[in-house]
Structure formats: structure tokens, C-alpha cells
């Protein structure tokens, strides 16, 4: 980190919704940004390297991580899906990533965890990073597993991770639940920057949310990151609340994980 920037930063999931944003916003933090996905990523721009990779392929992930100083791991399945799909990309994928990090002496990972680790808590319940997890599906379970993998690799090998339980990271909040869970792209970028650069994070769990009015999550246990969100969902409230409210028993109004709590079962479709 000679000029204050990371030497080579790996961004997995670079073709995804957030990956495409971070491809631009992470660039000032690193000399070389290595981008990866299973999907095509176009031609590399100056300061970029592109290496397509299936996270389920252990050897390919090992080659991907080689030469990197830090990883922002956004890759994998990002919605609720049948278990077998989650198993490959998320569960095997996170194991492959940490094994490669161990082998190639990567010291810092930022893991895109999710609010779906705690999705079956009711809206309004206050949680912090020590609250027991209540995953709302196989996707949420895989993120709990990822966080535990991060914890283990810190205790055993000293690889530090910030697991960001991302709320709803979209350009603008689109519904009542997102007024609580919204994370702006700017705040996501700042949280990742802090997660990469703050010394001595061990394994830290932080909720990824903007400075919204009524939040369910308490980030005091991650205060050492010094993350101060700049945006708020408040300017979007009047438009969202002018729309007819969903039924009171609609999962989007009941659980912190919203509609994810009502996905599946997938087995019966066979
Ligand atoms: C997530 O973890 C998903 O990746 C994303 O698609 C959103 O649904 C988000 O959570 C959310 O809960 O709003």
C-alpha cells in the first residue's frame, strides 16, 4: 500500500448489480482492480484485470486469488434459490475463497453478507451483531455459513474479514420495508472502504444501511470501523407512503427479510 492504495484488489461478482457499481467506485482505492464473475465483463479498462471464474471450481478460485492483497467478495447467488445452486456458488464458493486466501497470504476480506441472515425477525425488533441469526432461506443460511467461515479463518489463520449484512442496496428505496433497510451506493462504497482500510478488524459484522429514520439494526459493535452514512431514505418516504399499503400480514410488512421469508419450497416443483 505504498501510495495509500491497495496493490491489487479482487472484486468477485463484478457483473452483478452491485458489482457493476463497485467496478467504478472501488477503483480509486487500488492500483489494480481484478474483476471476476461467471458472466462476461467486457474489455478491461485502464487499471483493471479480468479473470472469469466459477466459484465452485476450487483450482480456478485459487488462480483468481493469487497475487491479490485484499478481496471484496460480492460473488455467488444473491437471491433465494434451490439449495443445490446455493451450495455450489455460495457454500463451496466461500470455502474455496478462504482456502485460496490462506494459501496466497491475503490478509483482508470484505464479505457481502446479507440481512437475510436475520430475516425471520419481526420488523421493529432491534438487533445487533450479537443477536442470534434467524436465516430466512437457503440463501440466508449460506450467508450465516460465510460469516462463520470468516470467523474460523480469522481465529485459525489471522485472515481479517468485515462481513457486511447488506440491507437493500439499490439506487433508490422502492417500498416501505426498504425505507428501513436501504443502503445507498455511496454509503456501500464508503462502508467497503472503511472495511478494507481500518486496522485490526478481526472478524467484524456490520449492518449495511444508510442513515435511515427508523432502523432495526444497531451498529455500535462495529463502531471501530468509523462508518458514518451520508444518505437517508427519508426523501423517498412521501412517494412510497402515498402508494396503497400492502396487507398487514404480507411478509413484506411482517419480517425483516420481507418476501424472502415466503420463497420456496423448491422441492415440490420436481
Ligand atoms: C439481498 O441480500 C439480496 O441480494 C437483494 O436482492 C435484496 O433482495 C436485498 O437482500 C434485500 O433484502 O432487500
Residue 25 three-state SS: helix
**Number of the ligand 1 atom closest to the C-alpha atom of 178:** 13
- Asked whether the beta carbons of 67 and 53 are under 8 A apart, the reply is no
Residue 115 alpha carbon to ligand 1 centre in Å: 7
pLDDT in tens, 65-123: 999 999 999 999 999 999 999 999 999 999 999 999 999 999 999 999 999 999 999 99
* Residue 12 main-chain phi, psi, to 5 deg: -90, 160
Domain ranges (residues) in the chain: 6-262
Alpha carbon 202 to chain centroid, angstroms: 17
Task: Tell whether the model's pLDDT for residue 152 goes beyond 70.
Answer: yes
**52 burial type by CB count under 10 A (0-12 exposed, 13-18 middle, 19+ buried):** middle
pLDDT in tens, 196-251: 999 999 999 999 999 999 999 999 999 999 999 999 999 999 999 999 999 999 99
Pocket test for ligand 1, best of 114, 121, 170, 233 (most atoms within 8 A of CB): 114
* Superfamily (CATH H level) for 6-262: NAD(P)-binding Rossmann-like Domain (3.40.50.720)
User: What is the predicted pLDDT for the residue at 267?
Assistant: 87
Residue 259 alpha carbon to ligand 1 centre in Å: 10
Pocket test for ligand 1, best of 118, 119, 169 (most atoms within 8 A of CB): 169
CA dihedral 250, 87, 150, 210 (to 10 degrees): -30
Whether residue 1 has its Cβ less than 6 Å from ligand 1: no
Amino acid at each position: 500500500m505504498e501510495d495509500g492504495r491497495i496493490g491489487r484488489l479482487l472484486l468477485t461478482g463484478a457483473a452483478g448489480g452491485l458489482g457493476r457499481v463497485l467496478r467504478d467506485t472501488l477503483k480509486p482505492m487500488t492500483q489494480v482492480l481484478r474483476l471476476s464473475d461467471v458472466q462476461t465483463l467486457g474489455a478491461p479498462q485502464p487499471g483493471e484485470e479480468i479473470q472469469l471464474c466459477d466459484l465452485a471450481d476450487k483450482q480456478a478460485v485459487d488462480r483468481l486469488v493469487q497475487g491479490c492483497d485484499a478481496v471484496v467478495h460480492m460473488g455467488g447467488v444473491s437471491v433465494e434459490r434451490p439449495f443445490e445452486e446455493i451450495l455450489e456458488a455460495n457454500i463451496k464458493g466461500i470455502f474455496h475463497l478462504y482456502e485460496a486466501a490462506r494459501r496466497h497470504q491475503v490478509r483482508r476480506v470484505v464479505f457481502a453478507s446479507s440481512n437475510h441472515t436475520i430475516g425471520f425477525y419481526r420488523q421493529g425488533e432491534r438487533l445487533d451483531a450479537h443477536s442470534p441469526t434467524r436465516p430466512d432461506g437457503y440463501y440466508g443460511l449460506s450467508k450465516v455459513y460465510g460469516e462463520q467461515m470468516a470467523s474460523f479463518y480469522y481465529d485459525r489463520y489471522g485472515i481479517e474479514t468485515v462481513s457486511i449484512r447488506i440491507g437493500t442496496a439499490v439506487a433508490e428505496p422502492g417500498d416501505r420495508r426498504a425505507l428501513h433497510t436501504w443502503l445507498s451506493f455511496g454509503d456501500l462504497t464508503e462502508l467497503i472502504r472503511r472495511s478494507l482500510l481500518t486496522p485490526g478488524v478481526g472478524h467484524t459484522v456490520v449492518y449495511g444501511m444508510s442513515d435511515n429514520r427508523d432502523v432495526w439494526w444497531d451498529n455500535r459493535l462495529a463502531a471501530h470501523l468509523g462508518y458514518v452514512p451520508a444518505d437517508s431514505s427519508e426523501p423517498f418516504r412521501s412517494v412510497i407512503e402515498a402508494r396503497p399499503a400492502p396487507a398487514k400480514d404480507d411478509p413484506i410488512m411482517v419480517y425483516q427479510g420481507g418476501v424472502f421469508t415466503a420463497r420456496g419450497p423448491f422441492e415440490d416443483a420436481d
